[in-house]
Amino acid sequence: QVQLVESGGGLVQPGESLRLSCVTSGSIFSLSDMGWHRQAPGKERELVATITSGGSTYYADFVKGRFTISKDNAKNTVYLQMNSLKPDDTAVYYCNARRMANPRYDYWGQGTQVTVSS
């Protein structure tokens, strides 16, 4: 019933940019804190960035100054603009919608592959 659909991943060279998008339903989007997480092979999933329903943002230290999370409420879409990409950014990037107040939920997309390689 609830879907989060990521797009925008791909293969880029170091220093290049990608913009990831995640679209979900309006009812979920309007009530959720949205986030991007990533998981590289053999590593634990890690938080990249979040944006609350009110627009407050948080970034992991390793992406500060390079990545920007934003959202378009009219399009029910959250974005992750990734600049100055590094090989260590290579991972599957997952979109997350979470609500801690009732009704509580925690939804995940299927992920989109980002590969940074020369």
Q: Which residue has the higher pLDDT, 27 or 45?
A: 45
| pLDDT at 98 exceeding the cut of 90 | yes
Report the distance separating Cα 95 and Cα 74, nearest Å.
18
| pLDDT at 110 exceeding the cut of 90 | yes
Q: Which of 14, 33, 12 is nearest to 22 (CA)?
A: 33
Q: What single-letter DSSP state applies at residue 72?
A: E
| pLDDT at 1 exceeding the cut of 80 | no
Report the distance separating Cα 72 and Cα 100, nearest Å.
21
Q: Which of 29, 104, 110 is nearest to 71 (CA)?
A: 29
Mean pLDDT of 104-115: 97
Counting other chains too, the contacts that 56-63 makes at CB distance below 8 Å and 24 or more residues apart are 62/88, 63/89
- What pLDDT is attached to residue 2? 86
Mean pLDDT of 42-49: 97
Mean pLDDT of 17-40: 95
The pLDDT-based confidence of 86 (bands split at 50, 70, 90) is: very high
